[in-house]
């Protein structure tokens, strides 16, 4: 019996549809039995008819789909970014996708901007909390536009939310044989929320005596990621810090066009997307690197019980990097679709 899965597809804005189209070529080659449904969501739709995220679509994603494959959201014509907030953050919050899993894995040493670092040195995963922190929109503006204006953005940390992401990070480390955990916060300045992180981290770490658990303030984490990335195996942090350190991590692994991610709630529908955005500066020029989308598809396969397909994809991507079969931002000469041609050629061998 073929193991069909139902996948919701959202190209989104800018280069989102370009890279998702390439990811789908890989999906068609590896799992033609998968059932895809495309959703017209993003800035064009919003500007056309005011729709951001219909509630019935969110319910269908939750009830009917195995995974969501998303490009990027963000468009200069929608400066408020309201559609991205309702679609992407909407999915993260309403589908309770509390793990944002972002691997920082250098696949080819020539692509690393750090001196004398190889693939074994840049190889860790970030567990970014994905449902609370500074992203909930709790707060408000008072006397907007006046000299007396007040703007409050509140950081929400719940015991449940903090504990489940820290636990997920330890469980992952345990399952994958990792022995080094690092939690990053800013507890020296943020004494309420991040003190909670400290206490919960210590409590969960005590259950994993074989995992060496350390703590770094997030400012030091950014320095250490550049100075000595080999010290990290699993990093766990909050929503905003995770957003920032994973763009830094993307550059360590070669570039933002190489960073894939999963927005995961284990056992339920989860969302896979590149870490990069809609890149309005290169849209329509066939310059977008499709590999982050293709690596995100790989992560989706693992989530759907096919880690063998993620491994195949990683091998093909590594080959492209080693032979400079890449787009211009990585020093190559290939167009977006030509990079995928190479991936498909490798997958067919």
122 binds ligand IPM (CB under 6 A): no
DSSP 8-state code for residue 23: H
Q: Which of residues 283-322 bind ligand NAD (CB under 6 A)?
A: 288-289, 292
Long-range pairs for 308-315 at CB < 8 Å and ≥24 separation? 309/30, 309/31, 312/30, 312/347, 313/26, 313/30, 313/343, 313/347, 314/107, 315/346
**Calpha distance 114→337 (Å, rounded):** 29
DSSP 27-70: HHHH-TT-EEEE---SHHHHHHH--S--HHHHHHHHHH-SEEEE
Chain centroid to CA 172: 16
Residue 276 contact among ligand IPM, Mn ion, ligand NAD, none, beta carbon within 5 to 8 Å by kind: ligand NAD
Residue 111 or 276: the one with the smaller Cβ distance to Mn ion is 276
Compute and round to an integer the Cα radius of gyration of the chain: 20
Least gap, CB of 63 to Mn ion (angstroms): 28
149 burial (CB, 10 Å; 0-12 / 13-18 / 19+) is: exposed
Q: Check if 243 is active-site.
A: yes
- CA dihedral angle for residue 51, residue 54, residue 58, residue 60, rounded to 10 degrees: -120
Instruction: Identify which of residues 166 and 252 has a Cβ nearer to ligand NAD in the complex.
Output: 252
Per-residue x/- marks for ligand NAD, 7-46, CB under 6 A?
--------x---x---------------------------
Binding mask 235-274 toward ligand NAD (x if CB under 6 A, else -) reads: ---------------------xx---------------x-
Examine residue 53 and tell whether it contacts ligand IPM (CB under 6 A): no
- 279 binds ligand NAD, rule: CB under 6 A: yes
Among 9, 10, 67, 88, binds ligand NAD (CB under 6 A): 88
Q: Which of 132, 243, 273, 310 binds Mn ion (CB under 5 A)?
A: 243
Whole-angstrom Cα distance, residue 320 to residue 1?
33
Instruction: Mark the segment that binds ligand NAD (CB under 6 A) among 28-36, 69-77, 119-127, 164-172.
Output: 69-77
Q: 80 vs 146, which CB is nearer to ligand IPM? A: 80
Q: Is 247 a catalytic residue?
A: yes
**Phi–psi pair at 133, nearest 5 degrees:** 70, -135
The span of 91-99, 111-119, 231-239, 279-287 binding ligand NAD (CB under 6 A) equals 279-287
Interface pick for ligand NAD out of 20, 134, 252, 282 (rule CB under 6 A): 282
The option from ligand IPM, ligand NAD, Mn ion, none interacting with 236 (CB < 5 to 8 A, set by class) reads none
User: Is 186 labeled as catalytic in the residue annotation?
Assistant: yes
Say which residues have a Cβ less than 8 Å from residue 47's Cβ, sequence separation at least 6: 77, 78
Among 11, 12, 16, 74, binds ligand IPM (CB under 6 A): 74
| Residue 330 DSSP class | G
Q: Which of 75, 129, 243, 310: binder of ligand IPM (CB under 6 A)?
A: 243
Residues 6+ apart with CB under 8 A from 238: 128, 129, 133, 134, 155, 157, 185, 193, 197
Distance from C-alpha of 70 to C-alpha of 305, rounded to nearest angstrom: 19
Q: Which residues bind ligand NAD (CB under 6 A)?
A: 15, 19, 72-74, 81, 88, 256-257, 273, 276-282, 288-289, 292, 327, 329
**Catalytic residue numbers?**
135, 186, 219, 243, 247
């Amino acid at each position: 019996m073929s193991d069909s899965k139902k996948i919701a597809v959202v190209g989104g804005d800018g280069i989102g549809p370009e890279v998702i189209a390439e990811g789908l070529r890989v999906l068609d080659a590896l799992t033609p039995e998968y059932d895809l449904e495309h959703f017209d969501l993003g800035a064009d739709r919003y500007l056309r008819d005011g729709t951001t995220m219909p509630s019935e679509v969110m319910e269908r994603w939750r009830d009917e789909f195995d995974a969501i494959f998303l490009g990027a959201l963000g468009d200069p014509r929608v400066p408020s970014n309201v559609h991205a907030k309702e679609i992407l953050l909407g999915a993260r919050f309403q589908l309770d996708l509390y793990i944002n899993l972002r691997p920082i894995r250098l696949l080819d040493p020539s692509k690393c901007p750090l001196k004398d670092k190889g693939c074994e040195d840049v190889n860790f995963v970030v567990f970014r909390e994905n449902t609370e922190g500074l992203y909930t929109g709790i707060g408000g503006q008072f006397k907007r536009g006046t000299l007396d204006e007040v703007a409050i953005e509140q950081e929400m940390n719940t015991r449940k939310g903090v504990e489940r992401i820290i636990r997920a990070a330890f469980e992952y480390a345990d399952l994958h044989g990792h022995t080094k955990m690092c939690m990053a916060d800013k507890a020296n300045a943020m004494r309420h929320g991040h003190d909670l992180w400290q206490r919960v981290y210590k409590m969960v770490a005590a259950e994993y005596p074989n995992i060496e658990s350390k703590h770094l303030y997030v400012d030091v984490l950014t320095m250490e990621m550049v100075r000595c990335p080999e010290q990290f195996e699993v990093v766990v942090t909050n929503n905003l810090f995770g957003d920032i350190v994973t763009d830094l991590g993307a550059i360590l692994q070669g570039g933002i066009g190489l960073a894939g991610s999963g927005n995961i709630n284990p056992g339920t529908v989860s969302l896979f997307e590149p870490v990069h955005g809609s890149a309005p500066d290169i849209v329509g020029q066939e310059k977008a690197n499709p590999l982050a989308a293709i690596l995100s598809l790989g992560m989706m396969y693992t989530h759907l019980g096919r880690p063998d397909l993620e491994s195949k994809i990683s091998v093909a991507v590594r080959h492209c990097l080693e032979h400079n079969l890449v787009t211009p931002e990585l020093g190559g000469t290939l167009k977006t679709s030509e990079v995928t041609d190479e991936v498909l050629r490798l997958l067919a061998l």
